[in-house]
Amino acid sequence: MDSSATWAILSFTAPYLLSVIAFLIFIEQISYMKKKTLIPGPSLVLPFVGNAISLVRNPTHFWDLQSDFARSTPLGVSVNYILGKFIVFIRSTELSHHIFANVRPDAFHLVGHPFGKKLFGEHNMIYMMGQQHKDLRRRIAPNFTPKALYTYTAIQQRVMLKHLMSWEQLSSSTSAPIALRFLVRDMNLETSQTVFAEPYLSGEERERFNIDYNLFNVGLMKLPIDLPGFAFRNARLAVDRLIKTLSNCAAKSKASIVSGKEPQCLVDFWMQSTVKEEREAAVRGDPPPPHSSDEEIGGHLFDFLFAAQDASTSSLLWAVTLLDSHPEVLAKVREEYTQAVAREILRYRAPATLVPHIAGEDLPLTESYTIPKGTIVFPSVFESSFQGFIEPDRFDPDRFLEARQEDQRYKRNFLVFRAGAHQCVGQRYAINHLVLFIAMFVTLLDFKRHRTDGCDEIAYVPTICPKDDCTVYMNRRCARYPSFPLN
């Protein structure tokens, strides 16, 4: 076919193609406006992509705008549109509780990330509901007993001391301030690896683990383009490798427990009860108990890693930031005040600000508004933290002391660890980790923030951190470091 014939065909078909595209755009806008009704949000959205570009480019501005929309109505709700998905943002504490209390097959499905199933896999713990979810939580309960937490504390101290010493050496070798974000992330990743599976990870596996977790982290904040060369695809493949590594750790741990060794890490405490149930099932002639295969356990260990890693990095950075800007609180911390400070840090800067769910059906949210099926719903635990409490915009650890007991009076607004059936199972571990870090950091090191314009503004990476990555000067405060073993 010559070029003139091709041009003639294109000239003939182009108006029809443009008409079809225009019609699809029109239908999309009508669908968005129908779902939006009178709820605050953008009046019109870009075809097909919606506001995905602004979300990826500047997530802080995007979510601040959603919060402003929600504040403009007594309902406390706003809407938007991302990559063909209608979304609802919720700042109302009571409506957030409504979401958390109705996670079930015919209502809301917790997803952890708008495109989480592609990243985490279909059988991830956060997608479980009903009896299956209850059974799994029962199985992992031994991981967080007082005995287990005591074992982890010894590991956490050892890893933290190693890193604090290296930070001080790094800081003393230069006159420039040091950005803590990646240093804290690396410390937390080593802490998680060591607490979860220390005896079963080789040095080479740890190095690959660090690389893969970084690929996963980067992919969380990118558009979900599952093609070679794109960050999202790299993240998905990295998760597969991480789960495989953790599955191998589960198998080695099982063998260790079978041989009669005492638990040394989190997976060992898990395998203690699992091995006992497997033996009892074998005696009865039954199949192995559910959630006991190495592959399943590896996947759930990755769930723990994801939950512990980035949220803790966020909390530790805000601890340094807020203690520097509140010297009167820092002085109290050095006089044993850490529990109240840790809880106020989590309230004031809730690390995982949003908890995405998907509506499995059309669901009434209020008497006047029904969430359409397929909508991604974002209850904001960050917004709830600034409701109810006395002077909520003020960093004030005294609110958690016995005299005021705001943690009890406004308990429904403290949603850092969510609520309902999917409330975070590792919250005691998370608080212990933050308390231990604060105690060791302020005892062993003197520090001072390198302050610049906007340094304390919130950045999403993907949990919230100070915009400047928490840049500080450090030097040793103690006469000598404690003598924890460092190997």
Annotated binding site for heme: 424
Pairing of strands 471-476, 178-179: antiparallel
Strands 464-466 and 376-379: unpaired
* Residues 420, 312, 182, 186, Cα dihedral to 10°: -110
Q: Are 245 and 219 in contact (CB under 8 A)?
A: no
DSSP letters spanning 393-424: TS--GGGGSTTT-HHHHTGGG--TT--GGG--
The total of other beta-carbon atoms located within 10 Å of residue 163's CB is 18
Q: Report the C-alpha gap between 207 and 211 in whole angstroms.
A: 6
Task: End-to-end CA distance of the chain: give it in Å, rounded.
Answer: 73
What are the two backbone dihedrals, phi and then psi, of residue 68, each rounded to the nearest 5 degrees?
-60, -40
Q: Are 267 and 197 in contact (CB under 8 A)?
A: yes
Binding residues: 424
DSSP-derived pairing of the beta strands 376-379 and 85-90: parallel
The CA distance from 468 to 458, in Å, is: 9
Structure tokens at 398: 């005294």
